[in-house]
Structure formats: structure tokens, C-alpha cells
Amino acid sequence: MEADAVIEEAERLESLRDRADGVAALYRREYLPMVRLAHLITGSNEVAEDVVQEAFVRMYKSWDRADQPAAYLRRIVVNGCNSWHRRRRLEREHLPRPVAEAVDPEARELLDALARLGLRQRTALVLRYYADMSEADVALALGCRPGTVKSLVHRGLRQLEGMIER
């Protein structure tokens, strides 16, 4: 019986090594793109870094369930951004508004316009045009149908056109 326990422990340790190697490789490849994605959704680099770090922790814990690790990680990041927005909405009544960072005026105008969009529209636009994802991939990340993505993107672009001065 002891031999079986030793074999099981060795297999468990090998599995952990594979998991650690896989997550480390994914981290090297996807960390910066995920931080950029989260920054565009949340509007804060600090929050984006926190969301992405937490996403990698969750990714590590659920590595065995991920058939497509990069897509699974992206979904975790988007969900983390959505959770942050929900918490922020609840806290907004009680906390003073933070001072905006110095940004190029044209970029600030776009960021301000994006911030005025609804969360799903903003996320769909960022994933579609900034992350250069297909409609099917955006749908997978948002947990909706591709037709919904088309509608979110179309309506979001129309609203942005109305908000941004030419």
C-alpha cells in the first residue's frame, strides 16, 4: 500500500510541475496583452494589474479544466473587470472620485467616451478593436452569441460617434 501512495505522490508532483510550467509560459506570453485589455475595460492601470494577477492565480488553480488556456484566461480577466465595475458602482456613493492621470487630450477624449458607454458595449469594443478579436472570440469572452456582439459593437460605435467631436 505504501508503494501506491508513493506513486500517487510522484504523479501529483509531476502534475504540479506541468501546471507551473504551463502557467509560467502563459504568463510570459499573455501578461502584457491581458493588462492592456483590463486597462481599457477598467480605465485604471493599477486595477488592471490587480485583475490580471488574480486571473493568473485563478488560472493556476483551474489549469486542468482549461482546454484553451489563453481563451480561458481572457474570460477570467473580463469577468474580473466586470466584478470590479460592480464593486465600484456600489462604492461610488461613498468614495470621492480619483484625480485623472495626465494623458494626451485626444486619447483622454476617447477614454472619456469609452467610460460613458455601458460595460458590455465598452468591453465588446475593446475586445473587438483593441484586442483584434473575431466576433466569435468576443462572444466566447463575453458569454453571449456572435449576433449580440455585432449589436453591441454597432451600437457602441454609433454612441462613440455622437460623443467624440470631429
Residue 60 scores a pLDDT above 70: yes
The dihedral through the CA atoms of 48, 102, 122, 30 has a sign that is negative
Do 19 and 73 belong together in one domain?
yes
Alpha carbons 63 and 75: distance in angstroms, whole number:
13
Do 12 and 46 belong together in one domain?
yes
Cα→Cα distances 23→11, 37, 55, 57, 73, Å: 18, 19, 11, 9, 10
Give the domain extent around 65: 1-98
Alpha carbons 144 and 80: distance in angstroms, whole number:
17
Contacts of 157 (CB under 8 A, 6+ apart): 125
Alpha carbons 45 and 103: distance in angstroms, whole number:
13
Do 67 and 27 belong together in one domain?
yes
Q: Which CATH number fits the domain that encloses residue 160?
A: 1.10.10.10
Do 86 and 150 belong together in one domain?
no
Do 145 and 90 belong together in one domain?
no
Do 111 and 92 belong together in one domain?
no
**Count: domains in the chain:** 2
Average pLDDT of the segment spanning 17-31: 88
Do 133 and 78 belong together in one domain?
no
Alpha helices in 43-145 (DSSP H): 45-61, 69-91, 105-116, 119-125, 135-142
Residue 111 CB coordination number (10 Å): 17
pLDDT in tens, 65-92: 888 899 999 999 999 999 998 888 777 7
pLDDT in tens, 42-57: 999 999 999 999 999 9
**Among 15-29, 57-71, 94-108, 135-149, the least confident range:** 94-108
**61-73 as b/e, with b when 16 or more CB fall inside 10 Å?**
eebeebeebeebb
Alpha carbons 101 and 78: distance in angstroms, whole number:
23
Do 110 and 150 belong together in one domain?
yes
Average pLDDT of the segment spanning 29-42: 94
Q: Does the reported pTM lie above 0.85?
A: no
